[in-house]
């Protein structure tokens, strides 16, 4: 069964609601005020089986200019439009405005209905049709069927029905395998059931028991029950009008304009980069506007980028918007509320007011629904490593299987690299490597006697997460361009020079330092002992400490072999006696009690000795203790 959603459009009192009633038998005016005044105020809905294999959901919108906000809330998720024009009044202001909005929204299918033909003669009707054809020129309805109908008498309804069926057959079916999404257009409480949210399902499938996420709040709810036009069902899919009974939320936490979506999808931000199409002249930067998107209205301002196409803008909204790449919206001036254009969202904007590279190309790919190009461009635009789930989310509401196929193709054609669980644009990887080489090289020039740049400093300079950084370092290490030394990273050339210099100093240490000397080794002492330029002594001292050639024992610094010498003394003592006192240890080292205690605490820490009161007994034997 194919499901389509069809919206009405047209001036107030041109018979949109009457036309839907004549076709479906459903009165879409549900409010008392609507029935009293005889005009639609809010959205109305009706279901109709167009054919054995096609079901339509009609969204009837108000035509009065005061309720244009509600009209736009009903238009964002439709597959096709029925533009209704009264024969006795012909083209009116809201006829033009509604048509312009449908055009800007990107609606591609529609039918034109001249209603109330029972009120005019044939000569007048021909004149009206001529005016309508002139209006529709250069719009998506230029070649659309035009039906002459009287909703009151039923004349022309059969032709209208046939045209609806023909149109529905050529409308591309929505993807039921894509992630689920539904803009909420109505929320109410049902006694005994709780909160019910209704809307048009834009993509995917939801089932009873599923968990859905509410945007922009990002709270998660379970689906308790489902209905399609009053009929209970176990699942709802793209193209249907759905009522979803949610478990847990309070009515005040859900409003029209929010989105129910699959948990892993949807992006939330108050700043969005977008591609604009202007209906009026190019608006000035900082202009306060109303953005109508989905079933929501947002207040914000427009920001223009320097050195960027005029149609690429940033929307600075007063509240976070939960949406997706490729979503279309209408822009009206804040006051007076006149139509000024439309936008297609590209992605949430970053903190910087700088237009990321590839933005224009990405906008074109999104407009064409070119998934392979979108998948290639996203990692390049983000300029960072992305997980597969992030790319799926950023691409929009495409089937995850389709995204995965195009990701694999992008890797096979060298557009993208896989780095652990991440994907990275080849151009971004090359640029990151160049940046890392530059940062590490600069550090080596400033600190020639350090083993390398601390990993954390490098990570912060690159603005990568810990997982991203480790994945990228693993990739780079495989190219044999860097050397990892604990918490430090060095370029291979520097590491070789540094290791040669350090080994030279260690050879000198062998000849000038005594392993039996337990006095602390200071920078001044090292300067006396080693043949090292005066300005390099401090660096040599730090290098020897870092390498473990010099060992810090409390506030004492000694030669590595001194630790091994003392360990040997303790081992020999325990071969003769089961316990060791501080006094005995002090005498064996021929040092002070304070120094003896410092060394014993060091050996306690390494479990070579075990303290019991004022004595020590033998712990596990440790070979090469200083290492």
pLDDT at 67 over 60: no
CA distances (Å), 391 to each of 371, 377, 406, 472, 535, in order? 11, 10, 11, 18, 52
593 CB burial (10 A radius; 0-12, 13-18, 19+): exposed
Cα 97 → chain centroid: 34
- pLDDT tens figures, 195-251: 899 999 999 999 999 999 999 999 999 999 999 888 899 999 998 989 999 987 676
Q: Which residues pair with 141 in a beta bridge?
A: none
pLDDT value for 66: 61
Q: What percent of the chain has pLDDT over 90?
A: 46
Worst-scoring range by mean pLDDT, 167-176, 288-297, 456-465, 517-526? Answer: 517-526
Report the distance separating Cα 86 and Cα 15, nearest Å. 7
pLDDT value for 357: 80
Structural domains in the chain, CATH included, are: 2-170 (3.40.50.300), 181-262 (2.40.30.10), 267-413 (2.40.30.10), 426-494 (1.10.10.10), 513-627 (1.10.10.10)
pLDDT at 390 over 90: yes
- pLDDT tens figures, 301-356: 999 888 778 889 999 999 999 999 999 999 999 988 888 999 999 999 876 667 88
Beta strands in 407-493 (DSSP E): 416-419, 422-425, 453-454, 482-485, 488-491
For 392, half-sphere exposure in the C-beta direction (CA atoms, 13 angstrom radius) is 18
pLDDT value for 157: 95
Report for 192-201, 276-285, 399-408: range of highest mean pLDDT: 399-408
Query: Residue 321 in contact with residue 296, Cβ under 8 Å?
Result: yes
Report the distance separating Cα 302 and Cα 609, nearest Å. 72
- pLDDT tens figures, 113-130: 999 999 999 999 999 999
Mean pLDDT across the chain: 87
Average pLDDT over residues 390-419: 94
- pLDDT tens figures, 447-473: 887 888 988 999 899 888 888 888 888
pLDDT value for 328: 92
More confident of the two residues 412 and 483 = 412
More confident of the two residues 507 and 110 = 110
562 CB burial (10 A radius; 0-12, 13-18, 19+): buried
pLDDT at 421 over 80: yes
Report the distance separating Cα 243 and Cα 226, nearest Å. 6
pLDDT value for 415: 93
pLDDT value for 624: 45
Whether the bond between 40 and the residue before it is cis, its omega within 30 degrees of 0, is: no
In 3D space, the residue among 207, 215, 220 whose CA is nearest the CA of residue 247 turns out to be: 220
Report the distance separating Cα 432 and Cα 116, nearest Å. 67
pLDDT value for 447: 83
pLDDT value for 511: 74
Length of the chain: 627
- pLDDT tens figures, 592-618: 999 999 999 999 888 889 999 889 988
Average pLDDT over residues 498-524: 78
pLDDT at 518 over 80: no
In 3D space, the residue among 415, 445, 420 whose CA is nearest the CA of residue 430 turns out to be: 415
pLDDT at 39 over 90: no
C-alpha torsion 247→249→255→260, nearest 10:
-50
pLDDT at 627 over 50: no
Average pLDDT over residues 487-501: 86
Q: Is the pTM of this model over 0.75?
A: yes
Report for 193-197, 406-410, 542-546, 547-551: range of highest mean pLDDT: 406-410
Q: Where are the alpha helices (DSSP H) in 41-145?
A: 68-75, 93-105, 122-136
């Amino acid at each position: 069964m194919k499901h389509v959603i069809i919206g009405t459009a047209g001036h107030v009192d041109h018979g949109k609601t009457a036309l839907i009633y004549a076709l479906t038998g459903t009165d879409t005016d549900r409010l008392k005020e609507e029935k009293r005044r005889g005009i639609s105020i809010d959205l109305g809905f009706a279901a109709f089986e167009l054919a054995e294999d096609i079901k339509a959901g009609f969204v009837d919108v108000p035509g009065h200019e005061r309720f244009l906000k509600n009209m736009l809330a009903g238009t964002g998720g439709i597959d096709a439009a029925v533009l209704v024009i009264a024969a006795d009044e012909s083209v009116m202001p809201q006829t033009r405005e509604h048509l312009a909005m449908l055009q800007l929204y990107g609606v591609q299918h529609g039918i034109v209905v001249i209603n109330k033909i029972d009120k005019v003669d044939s000569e007048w009707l021909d004149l009206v049709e001529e005016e309508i054809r002139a209006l529709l020129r250069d719009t998506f309805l230029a070649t659309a069927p035009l039906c002459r109908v009287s909703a009151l008498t039923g004349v022309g309804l059969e032709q209208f029905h046939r045209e609806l069926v023909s149109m529905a057959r050529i409308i591309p079916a929505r993807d039921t395998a894509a992630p689920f999404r539904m803009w909420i257009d109505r929320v109410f409480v049902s006694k005994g059931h709780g909160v019910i949210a209704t809307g048009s399902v834009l993509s995917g499938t939801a089932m009873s028991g599923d968990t859905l996420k509410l945007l922009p709040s990002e709270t998660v709810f379970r689906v308790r029950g489902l209905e399609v036009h009053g009929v209970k069902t176990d699942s709802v899919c793209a193209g249907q009008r759905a009522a979803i009974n949610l478990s847990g939320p309070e009515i005040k936490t859900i409003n029209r304009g929010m989105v129910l979506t699959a948990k892993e999808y949807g992006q939330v931000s108050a700043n969005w980069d977008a591609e604009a199409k202007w209906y009026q002249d190019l608006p000035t930067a900082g202009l306060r506007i109303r953005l109508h998107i989905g079933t929501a209205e947002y207040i914000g301002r427009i920001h223009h980028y320097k050195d960027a196409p005029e149609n690429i803008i940033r929307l600075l909204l007063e509240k976070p918007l939960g949406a997706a790449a490729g979503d279309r919206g209408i822009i009206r001036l804040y006051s007076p509320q006149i139509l000024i254009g439309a936008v297609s969202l590209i992605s949430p904007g970053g903190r910087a007011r700088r237009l990321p590279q590839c933005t224009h190309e990405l906008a074109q790919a999104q407009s064409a629904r070119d998934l392979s190009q979108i998948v290639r461009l996203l990692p390049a635009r983000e300029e960072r490593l992305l997980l597969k789930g992030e790319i799926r989310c950023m691409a929009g509401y495409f089937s995850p299987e389709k995204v995965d196929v195009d990701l694999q193709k992008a890797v096979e054609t060298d557009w993208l690299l896989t780095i652990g669980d991440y994907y990275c644009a080849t151009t971004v990887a090359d640029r990151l490597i160049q940046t890392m080489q530059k940062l590490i090289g600069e550090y080596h020039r400033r600190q020639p006697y350090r083993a390398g740049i601390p990993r954390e400093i490098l990570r912060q300079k690159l603005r990568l997460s810990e997982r991203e950084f480790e994945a990228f370092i693993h990739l780079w290490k495989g190219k044999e361009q860097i050397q990892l030394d604990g918490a430090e990273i060095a370029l291979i050339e520097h590491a070789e020079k540094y290791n040669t210099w350090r080994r030279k100093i260690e050879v000198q240490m062998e000849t000038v330092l005594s392993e039996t000397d337990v006095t602390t080794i200071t920078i001044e002492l090292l300067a006396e002992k080693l043949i090292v330029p005066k300005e390099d002594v401090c660096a040599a001292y730090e290098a020897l400490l870092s390498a473990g050639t010099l060992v810090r024992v409390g506030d004492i610094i000694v030669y590595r072999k001194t630790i091994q010498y003392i360990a040997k003394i303790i081992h020999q003592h325990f071969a003769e006696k089961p316990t060791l006192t501080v006094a005995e240890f002090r005498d064996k080292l021929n040092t002070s009690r304070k120094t003896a205690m410092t060394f014993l605490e060091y050996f306690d820490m390494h479990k070579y000795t075990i303290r019991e009161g004022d004595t020590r007994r033998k712990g596990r034997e440790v070979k090469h203790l200083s290492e």
